Amino acid sequence: MSNPLHDQNGLTEKEFLQRYNPETFDRLAVSVDTVVFSIDSRIQTQNYRKLDEQKLTVLLVKRNEHPYLGRWSLPGGFVGSQETLDQAAQRVLHDKTGLDNVYIEQLYTFGHPGRDPRMRIISVAYLALIDRSQYRLMNVDTQKITDLSWCEIDFPKNDPLRLRIGDEELPSQIAFDHATLIREGLLRLRNKIDYTDIVFNLMPEQFTITHLQQIFEIIGGEKLLAPVFRRKIACKITPTGEYTQERGHRPSQLYVYRRP
Amino acid sequence: MSNPLHDQNGLTEKEFLQRYNPETFDRLAVSVDTVVFSIDSRIQTQNYRKLDEQKLTVLLVKRNEHPYLGRWSLPGGFVGSQETLDQAAQRVLHDKTGLDNVYIEQLYTFGHPGRDPRMRIISVAYLALIDRSQYRLMNVDTQKITDLSWCEIDFPKNDPLRLRIGDEELPSQIAFDHATLIREGLLRLRNKIDYTDIVFNLMPEQFTITHLQQIFEIIGGEKLLAPVFRRKIACKITPTGEYTQERGHRPSQLYVYRRP
């Protein structure tokens, strides 16, 4: 830059920057926290004529340090001074969960002054979507986390968000404002499945239309009519000519995502 | 909070927080910058049979201090330690432009390490929409700004963004990465006009369908077919029974926004 103008103190931009004191303004800490969603496909062993049950889940880590020691939280960490926000989100996600090369987008930035008891921390939240069968979780940064778990989500339209790990009901056990981040992540996903193709990041490579409809239903929080859903989704998928072979069901054709 | 657990150093949460040193992690500065859009309705004085011309505009302020002295930028400022991000955005917008009680939503957070020559500054960008006829701009915080101006936007679909004040072509004259923020703001607006009602924040209380269609076209960056547009918009507006009285045109019915 070579700005020829002098300011009211007679300084050039270069002189101004040399004398600039970064302590002039309040400085804050900035963290990234990622809401990772995946689908848990439960094979119905009790009744083989029933469809597999699909559950939407979010990845949580158990904190082993203060604050909120022993509580569940989203994988997160502080933004380093030399990395972009996207790089920070990817680095932290890898360190805490082993996940790499996943679909990830910025969600929203949360900055309520009281949201962290240590100090003022602004959290830039990210949303990530994975097909669980393609990834293996592992705790790379073992100093910080004692446990990783997929937490089940129930969020029917117009109802409050419910979170559960095994038999334990979670919302009150979630650290910081992370229950709010999960809720916002799901609302973003609910909104975007109708006008983008991001849902396919949650799907295995091959799937039946019924399976895909189940995923739309749990994300949208409401049942859909099969013929309407089939018409709407037809332009986004391609039949493979292969069929499922499952006990108790008619064979169903398998489809793949058709990139636009 | 009364967390009964002790950490690996034997500390309770209260003891941990008392000894916590906020300098442990990199601290950054956080600012808010707001992309304010409005419509400039130009009455065609040359040819009274032509429709009024509509222009999408964004509000810019001329910087009177380094860095980027003399360049145009979005109204912005630093987040104070005791306010939420939304409060900071509203306070800064008021101080710099006099605007109050406008439609405003968080847009995206920009954090590239080199985006400000002073230091690492994370910018939480906001999007605001106003009906220009209802607001009067004024520079409350006169220390900082020498000039406020509405800048014309041209952004046809698949073309690059063009910005102009009078005869001056702007993109290279915009401070920081603010041209990117304006572009992202317009893409968000383009995306949301189809599935939300936010466009009505740009409209006067009463308007014709043709006027509303013109706004959809300049935001979307492409022409629309009138019958298709009318069908799509019908459920969102209510006829008033009143009509425009303009030279050279058939009277057109005036409509108001119908809140859902």
**Pair type for strands A72-73 and A53-63:** antiparallel
Give the separation between CA A233 and CA A224, rounded to whole angstroms.
12
Assess B122–A contact: CB distance below 8 Å, yes or no.
Answer: yes
Q: What is the pLDDT averaged over residues A4-11?
A: 83
pLDDT at res. A217:
96
Q: Which of B26, A102, B27 is nearest to A91 (CA)?
A: A102
* Bridge partner list, A169: A164
Q: Which of B26, B70, B118 sits opposite A81 (nearest CB)?
A: B26
Amino acid at A77: G
Using the predicted structure, report yes or no on whether residue B55 has a pLDDT greater than 70. yes
Tokens for B55? Answer: 């222009």
Chain A residue closest to B110 (CA)? Answer: A85
Give the separation between CA A181 and CA B153, rounded to whole angstroms.
34
Task: Please identify which residue in the block is written with the tokens 């969600």.
Answer: A107
pLDDT at res. B50:
67
Give Cα B236 distance to the centre of its chain. 23
Using the predicted structure, report yes or no on whether residue A143 has a pLDDT greater than 60. no
Chain A nearest CA to B11, separation (Å): 9
DSSP H or E stretch at residue A57: strand A53-63
Within 10 A of B42 (CB to CB), how many other CB atoms are there? 9
Chain A / chain B CB contacts < 8 angstroms = 142
Chain A nearest CA to B241, separation (Å): 36
Chain A residue closest to B68 (CA)? Answer: A3
Return all residues near A42 (Cβ < 8 A) that are at least 6 apart.
A52, A53, A54, A55
Helix (DSSP H) and strand (DSSP E) numbers for chain B:
5, 11
Using the predicted structure, report yes or no on whether residue B64 has a pLDDT greater than 60. yes
Q: Are A122 and A111 in contact (CB under 8 A)?
A: yes
Q: Are B198 and B244 in contact (CB under 8 A)?
A: no
Chain A nearest CA to B119, separation (Å): 7
Chain A nearest CA to B50, separation (Å): 36
Give the separation between CA A62 and CA A69, rounded to whole angstroms.
8
Would you tell me which residues 194-213 of chain A have a C-beta closer than 8 angstroms to some C-beta of chain B? Answer: 194-195
Task: Give the least confident one: A2-6, A127-131, B27-31.
Answer: A2-6
Verify whether the Cβ–Cβ distance B66 to A117 is below 8 Å: no
Chain B nearest CA to A50, separation (Å): 36
Q: Are B182 and B107 in contact (CB under 8 A)?
A: no
Q: Which of A144, A127, A131 is nearest to A200 (CA)?
A: A131
pLDDT confidence band for B188 (50 / 70 / 90):
very high
Q: Which of A21, A27, A58, A187 is nearest to A122 (CA)?
A: A27
3-state secondary structure of A75: coil
Chain A nearest CA to B87, separation (Å): 10
DSSP H or E stretch at residue A55: strand A53-63
pLDDT at res. B146:
55
What are the Cα distances from residue A182, in Å, to A70, A199, A200, B192? 19, 17, 20, 22
Chain B nearest CA to A176, separation (Å): 11
Q: Which of A5, A78, A110 sits opposite B25 (nearest CB)?
A: A78
Residues of chain B with Cβ-Cβ distance to A63 below 8 Å are: none
Question: What does the DSSP 8-state code read for residue A199?
Answer: G
Assess B25–A contact: CB distance below 8 Å, yes or no.
Answer: yes
Return all residues near A253 (Cβ < 8 A) that are at least 6 apart.
A208, A209, A239, A240, A241, A242, A243
Task: Give the least confident one: A13-17, B57-61, B135-139.
Answer: B135-139
Q: Which of B257, B124, B164 is nearest to B202 (CA)?
A: B257
Q: Are A233 and A212 in contact (CB under 8 A)?
A: yes
Using the predicted structure, report yes or no on whether residue B170 has a pLDDT greater than 80. no
Q: Tell me: the pLDDT tens digits for A14-51?
A: 888 888 877 666 678 899 999 999 999 876 666 666 66
Q: Where are the domains of chain B?
A: 29-196
Verify whether the Cβ–Cβ distance B66 to A17 is below 8 Å: yes
pLDDT at res. B38:
95
Fold of the domain built from segment(s) A29-196:
Nucleoside Triphosphate Pyrophosphohydrolase (3.90.79)
Verify whether the Cβ–Cβ distance A17 to B118 is below 8 Å: yes
Chain A contact probe: residue of B6, B13, B17, B25 with most A CBs at under 10 A: B25
Q: Tell me how far apart the 2 most distant CA atoms of chain B are, in Å.
A: 84
Q: What is the pLDDT averaged over residues B81-88?
A: 94
Give the separation between CA A231 and CA B181, rounded to whole angstroms.
37
Q: Which of B26, B67, B119 sits opposite A13 (nearest CB)?
A: B67
Chain B residue closest to A24 (CA)? Answer: B29
Chain B contact probe: residue of A3, A14, A69 with most B CBs at under 10 A: A69
Q: Helix/strand/coil (H, E, C) string of B75-144?
A: CEEECCCCCCHHHHHHHHHHHHHCCCCCEEEEEEEECCCCCCCCCCEEEEEEEEECCHHHCCCCCCCCCC
Would you tell me which residues 82-121 of chain B have a C-beta closer than 8 angstroms to some C-beta of chain A? Answer: 82-85, 106, 108-113, 117-120
Chain A contact probe: residue of B109, B123, B142 with most A CBs at under 10 A: B109
What percent of chain B lies above the pLDDT cut of 90? 54
Q: Which of B29, B65, B108 sits opposite A106 (nearest CB)?
A: B108
Convert A118-140 to b/e letters by CB count within 10 Å (16 or more is b): ebbbbbbbbbbbbbbeebebebe
Q: Which of A29, A106, A110 sits opposite B25 (nearest CB)?
A: A29
Average pLDDT of chain A is 87
Q: Which of B20, B109, B119 sits opposite A85 (nearest CB)?
A: B109
Verify whether the Cβ–Cβ distance B84 to A7 is below 8 Å: no
pLDDT at res. A47:
63
Using the predicted structure, report yes or no on whether residue A118 has a pLDDT greater than 70. yes
Return all residues near B148 (Cβ < 8 A) that are at least 6 apart.
B59, B60, B61, B62, B96, B97, B137, B139
pLDDT at res. B141:
55
| B209-220 helix and B226-233 helix, angle to the nearest 10 degrees | 100
Would you tell me which residues 1-20 of chain A have a C-beta closer than 8 angstroms to some C-beta of chain B? Answer: 1, 3, 5, 7-8, 11, 13, 16-17, 20
Chain B nearest CA to A45, separation (Å): 40
Average pLDDT of chain B is 87
